[in-house]
Structure 1
Amino acid sequence: MSQYRIAVIVGSLRKDSFNKKLATALTRLGPPDFDFQTSRIDDLPLYDQDDDTNPADAVKRLKSEIAAAQGLLFVTPEYNRSMPGVLKNAIDHASRPYGQSAWNGKPAGVIGASIGAIGTALAQQHLRNVLAYLNVPTLGQPEAFIHAKDGLFDADGGIGPSSREFVQGWMDRYVAWIRSHVSA
């Protein structure tokens, strides 16, 4: 059985983040041949082009994890109608120096949860714009702007019954998207 390694990038640092919980619950919905590994971004220094020739160990690790992955899964909150700075910082690090982007050509899915009624719609759109520039083919449909409310997660940390069918449908499309872009 072939194995698809997926780098999961969560755009939140908060201990009890809805998006960390969503990422964990999503990985449970994936098929057995998908290996979801969360890439740490909380230890990255602020991006500085002066460091391109001598990146920090955390940056080398992130770039290595992205390079080793066959696909990407971005799970992001929305801060001030955009993606969090920590996520943009990670994207910048792994895309540099110019011409040496670890993101190039990696198929991706973008999803997120928020307590707001529009979920993470604007953060996802901004993220998609950046990913398009970086040549990251991104699943377009279905879009998933998850409203984090009571019942989203069950007692075991999985997706609750009221959202399970929709989220499983999103995961199934994501899996098909990755398979269509990767020769296993």
Structure 2
Amino acid sequence: MAQYKIAVVVGSLRKDSFNKKLALALAKLAPSDFLFEQVRIDDLPLYNQDDDGHPAEQVKRLKSHILESQGLLFVTPEYNRSMPGVLKNAIDHASRPYGQSAWAGKPAGVIGISVGAIGTALAQQHLRNVLAYLDVPVLGQPEAFVQAKEGVFNADGSAGDGIKKFLQGWMDAYVAFVKKPR
């Protein structure tokens, strides 16, 4: 059985992040041949094109993790109607220098959770625009704009009864998308 290593990029650094919880809950819904590994982005320096020729070790680690994966999962909060700076910084690092993007061709899922009624719809749209430019095929349907409310997560971190069926459907579509020949 083929093993699919999925690089998970969570756009939140908060210790008790809803998006980190969502990433973990989604991984529990995946088939056994999918391995979800969170990519560390909290220690990356701010992107500076002057450093392209001699990237920091943290940047090398990030690019290596992305290159070794068969798919990507972006789980993003929404800050000021867009994606967080820390997520954009990671994307910029792994896409540079020009022509050496680690992201290119990797199938991706984009999802997020927020306390707002529209979830992370605008952040996801901005992220999808950036990923399109970077030649990252992104699962288009189903979209998932999850609202953080009571019962979304069980005490063990799994998806709550009210959302589990929806998230399972999203995960099934994501798995099929990653497995699809390109």
* TM-score interval, smaller chain: over 0.9
Q: Alpha-carbon deviations, 1:18-60, whole Å to 9, x = none?
A: 0000001110110000011100000000000000000000000
Gaps of 5+ in 1: none
1:18 — aligned with what? 18
Matched residues in 1 for 2:136 and 2:54: separation?
A: 25
Offset at residue 165 of structure 1 (A): 0.3
1:132 — aligned with what? 132
SS at match of 1:106: coil
The percent identity for this pair of structures is: 75
Matched residues in 2 for 1:152 and 1:181: separation?
A: 33
2:33 — aligned with what? 33
1:154 — aligned with what? 154
Q: What is the TM-score with the length of structure 2 in the denominator?
A: 0.99
2:109 — aligned with what? 109
Give the root-mean-square deviation of aligned CA atoms. Answer: 0.6
Q: Alpha-carbon deviations, 1:56-89, whole Å to 9, x = none?
A: 0000000000000000000000000000000000
Equivalent pair of 1:107/1:181 in contact (CA under 8 Å): no
Offset at residue 181 of structure 1 (A): 3.9
Equivalent pair of 1:44/1:59 in contact (CA under 8 Å): yes
Correspondence 1:83 to 2:83: yes
SS at match of 2:180: helix
2:171 — aligned with what? 171
Aligned residues: 182
